[in-house]
Structure 1
Amino acid sequence: MQWKTVLNTMKPYTPGRSIEAVKKAYGLDNVIKLASNENPYGCASTVTEFLGSTTMPFEIYPDGHGTTLRAKLAEKHKVDESSILFGNGSDEIISIISRALLDEQVHTIMPTPSFPQYVHNAKIEGAEITEIPLKKGYHDLNDFANAINERTAIIWVCNPNNPTGSLIPSDELVQFLVQVPENILVVLDEAYFEYVTDPNHVDSITLLDRFPNILILRTFSKAYGLASFRIGYAVGSSDIITELNKVRNPFNNNTLAVAVASKALEDDAFIEKCRTLNEKERVRFKKFADEKGIHMFDSETNFVLLEVPNDADEASEFLLQHGFIVRSGNALGTPGYVRITIGTESQNTGLLEAFTLLLQEKGR
């Protein structure tokens, strides 16, 4: 086989261990997964009621336009329907963007550590890559601006950033966007937008009129609790969306996923409830870190990046043995830390008890 040579330097995505696998491996009856930033409160009642009553013509191809969902999102965000692109999760949209704009002749800029699919897709397309290290967990937008050259095609901004959880102040983001040439696409990946509670944060969709070269990514996988349905969307100028649609595969979202996402949009109260509960528990994690004298990055998401007293893999293994699946920072580019999804109050109580045992074992 004549594979792309870059594949020799890459590895397939390795998913985390499942709840059932951990139960079997450690002889546990109860295991809580706090590794993938899923919503511990499930999904809206409008979704569960719909799934219990709906019938669909499964022999018919999906509505490739996503008509009902498109109309609801356009109304919600006060944009034209032609400004929306759907993907099989926002991961697919990242692939679509990369395929449409990147090749061996162009350059792309992204933060590190951050969501790995930016660099993954850029490598496959053969683009020149500049990774800008975070500073104290935050994007250094001055370094981003200085890295722009005449071949730059895409700038990736993860906001809030995964895995640190940090949010770029809106005024700093605008100051940066002013410096970016209009022929460069700035992708604002906002998978955790619904969890942001900073009162000064500005919805970036409102910036589209001023900066038509930005593209905002959102998802139903996080706060909406629909990760298994794999549906995300992008909002941008109709000109950009038209070009990306040339790359998008037809029928890339299945009928059930589109219908479920449409129902989820009908329950704003569920999202508000999740945001409030998440913020309460996020403050609890911060208090715990301060009391124990360990570092936790500022977070505006449904996860925290918490310092561990030893190797991150060892700490993750210790927590696994106590029934909690978390994500080792060694796999995220943040050695010495673990990323923990903020669970329910009772889940977090158990996790923090196990974490306390970890600290005690290491003399902290």
Structure 2
Amino acid sequence: MEPRICREGILKLKPYIPGKPIEEVEREYGVKDIIKLASNENPLGPSPKAVEAMNKMAPNVGLYPDGSCYALRNAVAEKLGVKPDNLTFGAGSDEVIHVIALALLERGDEVISCDPTFVQYETAAVLCECPYHKVPLKNHTYDLEGIAERLNSRTKLVFIANPNNPTGTMVTHSEVERLLSHMPERAVLVLDEAYYEYNERSDYPKSVEWVLEGRNVIVLRTFSKIYGLAGLRVGYGIARPDIIGYLEQVRQPFNVSSIGQAAALASIEDAEHVERSRALNSEGRRYLYCEFDRLGLPYAPSEANFVWVDLREDSVKVFKELLRRGVIIRTGDIFGMPTWARVTIGKPEENERFIKTLEEVLALFSS
């Protein structure tokens, strides 16, 4: 037997499996005109202003980017009503998750979240050799009372995806406030708000206020979702200046590209594009709800740009049949829910094609 050369914790991790890219489906199945409803991307893509900013920045990519993200940092600070030293930036909020773990976790600390949820929380904990505790979701939603029961003096980080990925459900301001009242003094609550801009409820947590109050809270947001910049990898964290200082000591220099910074800056200045994206998503979500009701398929109420739906069949088998017909979704087996699937909300014509194709595929299994 060959000696192990990797860290022991690595062996406990399953590699992240992303949604299938369109090019791969074209190669494997020989189909064209593919629609991808698997990775929660904005079907409108980036703002035209962001595209213009990228083109203007392109000749300068031979130079290192601004390591401090000065212009973007100040613009985001003004938009949120915080100070620039309340912010840190990363190559997507994924990177900020790992920076948080590297900066704050020590051996013996414990991390808590729910299951199923975004896999990077567990990955970050395991890489820091810290126990990761999973509390099952309740009705597809984070069970904050269950998390509160698992808190102890060793708890250092609690991750909450709000809305949750893959279920799209959210927890309210008062529910999170109750959890905060039970948190140990040294513990930090990380609120991952990647889908924040799609939320339409008045009881959504006012998380930035907790930061401004000096609470042990870190808020994560991203330009990958409603801003349509998933391919550029730009995300950020919001926290007290002292916490940001710890993260900045760990963060890699030049981690956000110059094109990414330029596109993100232009994106937050294009409120109309955000509103168009939000309106399109709301319309598409209502359509999918109606169609799932008609088909008798249960689903979770979503505050994101996707819907978590029970196909009542093996989702992998349904997935493969959909692929043959040029439709990509995300199966629930990787989340421990083998009949469920996550479907990104697309343009009207994409949503309609998905439903029509899904009906054809489900008919195969019922015949």
TM band (smaller chain): over 0.9
Q: Which residue of 2 aligns with 1:258?
A: 261
Distance 2:54 2:5 in 1: 45
Distance 2:19 2:274 in 1: 26
- Aligned-residue offset at 1:119: 0.5
Matched, 1:285 2:263: no
2:20/2:38 contact within 8 Å kept: no
Q: Which residue of 2 aligns with 1:234?
A: 237
Secondary structure of 1:38 counterpart: coil
2:18/2:39 contact within 8 Å kept: no
- Aligned-residue offset at 1:48: 1.8
2:176/2:205 contact within 8 Å kept: no
- Among the aligned pairs, what percent are the same residue? 36
Secondary structure of 1:85 counterpart: strand
1:216/1:234 contact within 8 Å kept: yes
State the Cα RMSD in Å. Answer: 1.5
Q: Which residue of 2 aligns with 1:32?
A: 35
Q: Which residue of 2 aligns with 1:189?
A: 192
Secondary structure of 2:250 counterpart: coil
Q: Which residue of 1 aligns with 2:249?
A: 246
Matched, 1:71 2:74: yes
1:83/1:238 contact within 8 Å kept: yes
Distance 2:251 2:58 in 1: 28
Q: Which residue of 1 aligns with 2:159?
A: 156
Which stretch shifts more, 71-80 or 54-63?
A: 54-63
- Aligned-residue offset at 1:54: 4.0
Q: Amino acid of the residue matched to residue 187 of structure 2?
A: I
Aligned residue-pair number = 364
Distance 1:4 1:25 in 2: 34
Q: Amino acid of the residue matched to residue 236 of structure 1?
A: A
Distance 1:96 1:52 in 2: 30
Distance 1:159 1:202 in 2: 9
Which portions of structure 1, spanning 4 or more consecutive aligned residues, are displaced by more than 4 angstroms? none
| Residues 74 and 284 of structure 1: CA distance in aligned 2, closer, same or farther (over 3 Å) | same
Matches within 5 A, 1:1-364: 2-54=5-57, 56-210=59-213, 212-363=215-366
1:113/1:134 contact within 8 Å kept: yes
Secondary structure of 2:94 counterpart: helix
- Aligned-residue offset at 1:293: 1.3
- Aligned-residue offset at 1:269: 1.2
Distance 1:31 1:282 in 2: 21
Which stretch shifts more, 36-45 or 205-214?
A: 205-214
Distance 2:54 2:7 in 1: 43
Q: Amino acid of the residue matched to residue 153 of structure 1?
A: K
Report the TM-score when normalising by structure 2. Answer: 0.96
- Aligned-residue offset at 1:124: 1.4
2:58/2:259 contact within 8 Å kept: no
Deviations 1:169-217 (A, max 9, x none): 2221112212213321100000000111113324311222335200000
Distance 2:331 2:233 in 1: 24
Distance 2:333 2:127 in 1: 23
Report the TM-score when normalising by structure 1. Answer: 0.96
Secondary structure of 1:227 counterpart: coil
Which stretch shifts more, 198-207 or 185-194?
A: 198-207
Q: Amino acid of the residue matched to residue 247 of structure 1?
A: V
Q: Amino acid of the residue matched to residue 306 of structure 2?
A: F
- Aligned-residue offset at 1:52: 3.5
Structure 1: gaps spanning 5 or more residues: none
Secondary structure of 1:362 counterpart: helix
Distance 1:252 1:20 in 2: 27
- Aligned-residue offset at 1:10: 2.4
| Residues 147 and 224 of structure 1: CA distance in aligned 2, closer, same or farther (over 3 Å) | same
1:309/1:362 contact within 8 Å kept: no
Secondary structure of 2:272 counterpart: helix
2:148/2:179 contact within 8 Å kept: yes
